[in-house]
Structure 1
């Protein structure tokens, strides 16, 4: 039996850029913000500093509600899947498409 392919990511941190609410031509709401995570993790038995900055996109009905609640400095936990996007210059980066968002 072949196991299903997994793409799950969960990260917590603080919002460091003001969230931006946009709408697609189909009328779907998209809330984008940048999340910063700083922690110490153990790797090979030794402490290692972990630093992550990632763009988070929350789409759908809950996006406008969250747009009113989230500000720079708000601590959240975002859970969803990773996807690659390209900017205008063709440079790729990872984006977290949040399926669940919780203030912490």
Structure 2
């Protein structure tokens, strides 16, 4: 089965670097995407705001490079998480991150 998602946009909240109990670095930020797409032959405005998580050794490097307003292209997979209130949301786990 496939689970691949790609999106470009801008970082809209300051990235947060954390470390798991196992010592794995995780960089979490919110990405906002605005565009116009064609659906059924008609233009449609597309607006996406999604949490992105980048894990591993590259997370520390990117923590120094990403700021609010930085434009990036992210590709990775979607995963569902639940917040402390039990509300589910999708998170994009980045496998590739490129500044644009």
Q: TM-score range by the shorter chain?
A: over 0.9
Q: Which residue of 1 aligns with 2:60?
A: 64
Measure how far apart 1:75 and its partner are: 0.1
Instruction: Give the TM-score of the pair, scaled to structure 2.
Output: 1.00
Compare CA radii of gyration and give the structure with the larger one.
1
Q: Which residue of 1 aligns with 2:99?
A: 103
Q: Which residue of 2 aligns with 1:11?
A: 7
Runs of 4+ displaced beyond 4 Å: none
Matches within 5 A, 1:1-104: 5-104=1-100
Aligned CA RMSD, in angstroms, stands at 0.2
Deviations 1:29-65 (A, max 9, x none): 0000000000000000000000000000000000000
Secondary structure of the corresponding residue to residue 17 of structure 1? coil
Instruction: Give the TM-score of the pair, scaled to structure 1.
Output: 0.96
